[in-house]
Amino acid sequence: MDILAPLLAEGCAAAAHAPWPRAEIGTEIWQRVTLHLAAGELDLLGLWGEADRMHMAVSAPESREIAVFTLACPDGRFPSVGLSHPPAIRLERTIQDLFGLIPDGAEDARHWLDHGAWGVGTPLGTPGPAPEHAYAFLPVTGENLHEIPVGPVHAGIIEPGHFRFTADGETIIRLEQRLGYVHKGTEGLMIGAPLDHAARLAGRVSGDATVAYASGFARAAEAALGIAPPPRAVHLRAVMAELERIANHIGDFGAICNDASFALMLAHCSVLRERVLRAAHLAFGHRLMMDRVVPGGLTQDITAEGLAAIASLIPAFRARLDQLAGLYDSMASLQERTVTTGFVKHDYVRRFATGGHVGRASGRNFDSRKWPGYAPYDATPFDVPLRTDGDVNARVWIRIEEIRQSLGILGHLLATLPPGPCRTTLPAPTTPVEGMALTESFRGDVLIWLRIAPDLTIERCHARDPSWFQWPLLETCVYGNIIADFPLCNKSFNCSYSGTDL
Using DSSP bridges, classify how beta strands 102-104 and 77-79 pair: parallel, antiparallel or unpaired.
Answer: parallel
**Binding of another protein by 356 (CB under 8 A):** no
Q: From the CB of 461, what's the least distance to another protein, in Å?
A: 14
Strand blocks (E) in 73-188: 77-79, 102-104, 145-150, 162-168, 171-178
Identify the residue among 94, 96, 206, 368 touching another protein (CB under 8 A).
Answer: 206
What b-and-e string marks burial along 261-277, b requiring 16 or more CB atoms within 10 Å of the CB?
Answer: ebeebbebbeebbebbb
CA angle (359, 345, 30) in 5-degree steps: 70
Using DSSP bridges, classify how beta strands 43-49 and 53-60 pair: parallel, antiparallel or unpaired.
Answer: antiparallel
Identify the residue among 159, 391, 402, 445 touching another protein (CB under 8 A).
Answer: 159
**Binding of another protein by 152 (CB under 8 A):** yes
Which among 25-33, 221-229, 323-331, 382-390 is the span making contact with another protein, rule CB under 8 A? Answer: 323-331
Q: From the CB of 427, what's the least distance to another protein, in Å?
A: 26
Q: From the CB of 395, what's the least distance to another protein, in Å?
A: 19
**Binding of another protein by 19 (CB under 8 A):** no
Q: From the CB of 446, what's the least distance to another protein, in Å?
A: 14
**Binding of another protein by 497 (CB under 8 A):** yes
* Dist. CA 433–CA 458, nearest whole Å: 10
Identify the residue among 123, 295, 355, 487 touching another protein (CB under 8 A).
Answer: 123
Which among 102-110, 114-122, 169-177, 219-227 is the span making contact with another protein, rule CB under 8 A? Answer: 114-122
Instruction: Name residue 464's beta-bridge partners.
Output: 447
* Dist. CA 215–CA 240, nearest whole Å: 10
**Total binding residues toward another protein, as defined by CB under 8 A:** 54
* Dist. CA 67–CA 459, nearest whole Å: 20
Distances (CA, A) of 349 to 354, 359, 445, 475, 479: 5, 6, 14, 13, 16
Q: From the CB of 231, what's the least distance to another protein, in Å?
A: 29
**Binding of another protein by 200 (CB under 8 A):** yes
Using DSSP bridges, classify how beta strands 102-104 and 53-60 pair: parallel, antiparallel or unpaired.
Answer: unpaired
Considering the complex, state which of residue 319 and residue 379 has its C-beta at the smaller distance from another protein: 319
Q: From the CB of 255, what's the least distance to another protein, in Å?
A: 8
Q: From the CB of 114, what's the least distance to another protein, in Å?
A: 8
Q: From the CB of 279, what's the least distance to another protein, in Å?
A: 13
**Binding of another protein by 456 (CB under 8 A):** no
Distances (CA, A) of 103 to 82, 96, 124, 202, 419: 8, 8, 16, 27, 51
**Binding of another protein by 379 (CB under 8 A):** no
**Binding of another protein by 312 (CB under 8 A):** no
For the beta sheet containing 17-18, the strands, ordered from the edge strand earlier in sequence to the opposite edge, are: 17-18, 433-440, 445-452, 458-464
Identify the residue among 93, 115, 245, 399 touching another protein (CB under 8 A).
Answer: 115
* Dist. CA 355–CA 19, nearest whole Å: 21
Would you tell me how many other CB atoms lie within 10 Å of the CB of residue 381?
A: 9
**Nearest CA-CA partner of 174 in 185, 165, 183:** 165
Identify the residue among 107, 184, 421, 482 touching another protein (CB under 8 A).
Answer: 184
Identify the residue among 34, 186, 393, 490 touching another protein (CB under 8 A).
Answer: 186
Q: From the CB of 115, what's the least distance to another protein, in Å?
A: 5
**Binding of another protein by 252 (CB under 8 A):** no
Stated as kind and residue range, the H or E segment containing 67 is strand 65-72
Q: From the CB of 484, what's the least distance to another protein, in Å?
A: 15
| Three-class secondary structure of residue 71 per DSSP | strand
Q: What is the largest distance, in Å, between two alpha-carbon atoms of the chain?
A: 70
Identify the residue among 155, 319, 332, 379 touching another protein (CB under 8 A).
Answer: 155
**Binding of another protein by 182 (CB under 8 A):** yes
**Binding of another protein by 264 (CB under 8 A):** yes
H helices within 361-391, ranges in order?
none
**Binding of another protein by 207 (CB under 8 A):** yes
Binding site for another protein (CB under 8 A): 113, 115, 117-120, 123, 152-153, 155-160, 180-186, 188-189, 197, 200-201, 204-208, 210, 251, 264, 267-268, 270-271, 273-274, 277, 287-288, 290, 323-324, 327, 330-331, 496-498, 501
